Amino acid sequence: MKYVEAGGARVSAIGVGCWQFGSKDWGYGKEYGERTALDIVNTALDLGVNLIDTAEAYARGASEAIVGRALLGRRAEAFVATKFTPATPTATRVVDHGRQSALRLGVDQIDLYQIHWPNPMFPLRPQLDGMRTLLDEGVIANVGLRPTPPSAARCSPTRCTSRCCTASPTRPTSRTRRPTTAS
């Protein structure tokens, strides 16, 4: 297995995408969510794949809950990434949704919390302010944008003076690299 260093964590170069966990839309029934999905996550961890990727939008939060059940007793082995879906992405909503995701996942801290498909009708700064609150509270360890729009270049730590983009000496903020280059 190949790994990359991301935000101070060792992350597998490939991951398990959990969009189908809990989804009835694609024909995945109750048995899949209760057994098969858990087997998939555990087999991946057994093989050294530690990047587990989900989102609150996947099956309306059911995917996160299934991932949480799959990680019982194995949380320390996984790098958990989930995403916020910004329909109305205010700082308060980002914070509320981050806390709800952590509860569904059954984790004290989400390793990577991402803005899933940034809404071009809303500025990024309030969303990143919400992410900063979650970082400060310890609910999340790293922040990401997925996919990263060209406008996000204005929010790099070297150009942005907002506290949401200021790098913390103890926790990285939006500097988590996507695991595309194995080392």
Cβ–Cβ < 8 Å for 132, 164 = yes
- CA distances in angstroms from 161 to 87, 122, 138, 158, listed in the order given: 26, 19, 22, 8
Instruction: Mark whether 32 is an active-site residue.
Output: no
Active-site choice (3, 32, 58, 113): 58
pTM flag (> 0.75): yes
Identify the CA nearest to 24 among candidates 66, 85, 53.
66
Q: Which CATH architecture has domain 3-155?
A: Alpha-Beta Barrel (3.20)
- Is residue 136 within a helix (H) or strand (E), and if so which, with residue range? helix 124-137
Q: Delimit the domains of the chain by residue range.
A: 3-155
Show pLDDT as tens, one digit a residue, over the chain (183 residues). Answer: 999 997 789 999 999 998 888 887 777 777 888 899 999 999 999 999 999 999 998 878 889 999 999 999 999 999 999 999 877 889 999 999 999 999 999 999 999 999 887 777 888 889 999 999 999 999 999 998 876 555 554 554 433 333 333 333 233 344 443 333 333
